[in-house]
Amino acid sequence: MTKPHILQVGPYPEWDEVPLNEAFTVHRYFDAADKARFLAEVGPSVKGIATRGELGATRAMIEACSGLEVISVYGVGFDAVDLAACRERGIRVTNTPDVLTNDVADLGVAMMLCLSRGMIGAESWVKDGSWAAKGLYPLKRRVWGRRAGVLGLGRIGYEVAKRLKGFDLEIAYSDVEAKPYASEWEYIADPVALAERSDFLFVTLAASVATRHIVGREVIAALGAEGMLINISRASNIDEEALLEALENRTLGSAALDVFEGEPALNPRFLALDNVLLQPHHASGTIETRKAMGQLVRDNLAAHFAGKPLPTPVL
C-alpha cells in the first residue's frame, strides 16, 4: 500500500523521526537549500504537513501543496498556521493540547520562584567566590502570600492557578468570561485591572489576532515597578517594545520569559538586562511530554488517512 506523502517542516527528536518515516513518505522541508524549488517539486504529491507550533504553515506553503488534506501541529499553538487558507481549501488542522499542559504550568511557576528569589544570581554568588569574599547574598522578594493574576484561564492557566494555590497566593484571573470551574478565584474581566492588583502576572492565553499585544503599555504600567510578568504563552501576546522600555526604565520590576518575537534571534536588548529570566522556549521540554506530543502528531495523521475522527482537531 502506498504511504501518504508528508511535508515535514522542522526536525523532531529521533524517537519521532523513526516512526514518522516508517508510516509515511516524508519530505524534509527544513533540509532543502532552495525551499521554493523543493516545494515546487514535492508539493503536488504532499497530502499532509507535519509541523511545529512556532513554524506553522504559510499560505505559500499550503498553496504549493495542491492536494493537501491535513496539517498536524507538534505543539498547542497553531497561530503560525494560515487558518484562513486552510478553511478556503477544506484542510484539516490538529494540534497537541493537554499532553503538555502540566509541564508548561510547572515551568511558569518555577520561573516565578527562580526570579523572585534570585536563584541564578545566587548560584553565581557561590561559584565566583562572592559568598566568601562579600558575605550574604542581597535580599530578594518572597512569593508566598502575595497576589497572582492569570491572564487566560484555559488548560494551562488553570493548572498554573492550581499550583499557585499551594503557595497561599491570592489568585485572580481574566478571560472572556468567568469560568464555572474557578469559582474560588476572583474574576476580573479587564487585563489592566488584573495587572493593577497583581504582584505576579502570568500570561497563559492562546495567541490570536484578538490577543496580539494584549499585554501592552497599559497592562505593563499597571503591573508596575514591583511587579513581575511571566510569559509561557506566545510572544505575540506581549508588546515587546513596551516591555523592553519598561524593564530598562525599571517601571516594570521584572519579567520571566520563555518566548520571544523572532526567536531564537531575540532582541539583544534583553541580554543587557539584569531584571529578566530568559528561557529558550522549552516549557514543554520534558522527555515524557515531547514523546506524547510526537505520538499525537502521528495519531492525528494516521486517523485522517484512515478516515477516522481526528483525536485533537482545530479545524
> How many Å apart are CA 192 and CA 15, to the nearest integer?
44
Cα angle 219, 233, 64; round to 5: 120
> How many Å apart are CA 245 and CA 253, to the nearest integer?
12
3-state class percentages of the chain: helix first, strand second, coil last, to nearest 5 = 40, 15, 40
284 with 103: CB under 8 angstroms? yes
Long-range contacts formed by 282-287: CB under 8 A, 24+ apart: 282/107, 282/258, 283/100, 283/103, 283/104, 283/107, 283/108, 283/232, 283/258, 284/75, 284/76, 284/100, 284/103, 284/104, 285/103, 286/103
35 with 65: CB under 8 angstroms? no
- Determine the number of helices (DSSP H) and then strands (DSSP E) in the chain: 12, 12
Catalytic residues: 234, 263, 281
Residue found under cell 484561564: 153
> How many Å apart are CA 177 and CA 77, to the nearest integer?
21
Indicate the helix (H) or strand (E) that contains 101.
helix 101-116
201 with 160: CB under 8 angstroms? no
> How many Å apart are CA 191 and CA 150, to the nearest integer?
9
Residue found under cell 500500500: 1
Q: Is 297 helix (H, G, I), strand (E, B) or coil?
A: helix
CA distance readout (Å), 149 to 179, 280, 299, 304:
15, 23, 36, 39
